[in-house]
Amino acid sequence: MILIDGDIMLYNSIHKTSINVEFDGEWIGPYLDLRQARARIDLYVKGLQEKLDDKGDHKVVVAWSDHDGCFRHDIDPSYKQNRTGKKPGGWFELESYVDGVYHTERMPLLEADDVLGILATQKANRGSIIVSDDKDLQTIPSTLYRPRQGELLNVTTKEADLYHLQQALEGDRVDDYPGCPGVGAVGAKRLLAPLLEEPRWIRAAKLRAWDTVVAAFEKKGLTEQDALVQARLARILRSSEWDDKTRKPLPWNPGQ
């Protein structure tokens, strides 16, 4: 299965097929050629199939974010508060087009990243390839193709778990959660680097990694609960963290 981040695909398609329009010397806004945008989407998907599916047996699924919000706002209301919430012109027309042509998936109060993570880690979908330039998808044990870099990554469970904790420590300015004050990307990698040498990635090793994260927060005068909030904001859901019956996410806990 080829799992495509639909949000990124649409933003790129709209950006690359829009032009600024002036009339009588006044800017009146961007103009989007929907036909070109639809064609670019089709070419993008076809290109991915040709590159990633040499046997022709991979189903294509496009993942969307839910329009009704995100469960992370219940964890911290300030999550992504820097976003305007407005979609660029043509978004809903293109989304409708993709829905009509390709198989698409949405899940209530989840972002596209979470939909990708859940689908990729379901037993029935083993061997799937996630397509996304979002670095957050490195927290999912899977095969990840990053189109902008043109690289194919095989992310192990240990690597995915540690990258998740790294995100919790360094925070994310784009998603507007701070992480642990003063740690940053370099500091987070340095703190967690020794855990990469763990010979067996079992619950005990995962809890040792969590103790490292908590110690960093406590060193800054914060608590384990503060660390847990950041970890839950940074966590991209996997199939074990989604209740398909209630259609609700399950909270991540240390040691998972």
29 with 51, same domain: the answer is: yes
Candidate from 14-23, 206-215, 222-231 with smallest mean pLDDT: 14-23
- 149-183 burial code (b ≥16 CB/10 A, e <16): eeeeeebeebbbbbbbbbbbbbbbeebebebbeeb
Question: Percentage of the chain surpassing pLDDT 70?
Answer: 95
177 with 135, same domain: the answer is: no
If you average pLDDT over every residue of the chain, what do you get? Answer: 93
> Half-sphere exposure (CA, 13 Å, Cβ side) for 101?
14
Range of the domain at 238: 158-249
Element (H, E) at 207: helix 203-219
Q: What is the mean pLDDT of residues 43-70?
A: 90
pLDDT band at 119 (very low <50, low <70, confident <90, very high): very high
Q: From CA 247, how far away is CA 110, in angstroms rounded?
A: 10
178 with 149, same domain: the answer is: no
**pLDDT value at residue 19:** 79
Contact yes or no for 119/238 (Cβ under 8 A): no
123 with 10, same domain: the answer is: yes
pLDDT per residue over 38-51, tens digit each?
A: 999 999 999 999 99
177 with 133, same domain: the answer is: no
The model's pTM: 0.93
Q: From CA 227, how far away is CA 221, in angstroms rounded?
A: 11
Is 254 domain-assigned?
A: no
Contact yes or no for 179/171 (Cβ under 8 A): yes
Q: Which of 102, 126, 155 is the last residue of a domain?
A: 155
Is 77 domain-assigned?
A: yes
Q: Which of 107, 135, 155 is the last residue of a domain?
A: 155
Contact yes or no for 238/118 (Cβ under 8 A): yes
Contact yes or no for 187/169 (Cβ under 8 A): yes
**pLDDT value at residue 49:** 94
**pLDDT value at residue 32:** 87
**pLDDT value at residue 27:** 66
Compute φ and ψ for 138, nearest 5 degrees.
-75, -5
**pLDDT value at residue 111:** 97
Strands 129-131 and 103-105, bridge-based pairing? unpaired
Is 101 domain-assigned?
A: yes
Question: Percentage of the chain surpassing pLDDT 90?
Answer: 84
Does residue 164 surpass a pLDDT of 70?
yes
Is 40 domain-assigned?
A: yes
Is 255 domain-assigned?
A: no
Q: Which of 107, 127, 155 is the last residue of a domain?
A: 155
The total of structural domains in the chain comes to: 2
Q: What is the mean pLDDT of residues 210-231?
A: 98
Does residue 138 surpass a pLDDT of 80?
yes
Q: Give the domain CATH number at 16.
A: 3.40.50.1010
114 with 129, same domain: the answer is: yes
Does residue 151 surpass a pLDDT of 90?
yes
**pLDDT value at residue 23:** 66
147 with 162, same domain: the answer is: no
17 with 139, same domain: the answer is: yes
104 with 18, same domain: the answer is: yes
Does residue 84 surpass a pLDDT of 70?
no
Dump strand ranges (E) for the chain. Answer: 2-5, 18-23, 26-32, 60-63, 103-105, 129-131, 142-146, 151-155, 242-243, 248-249
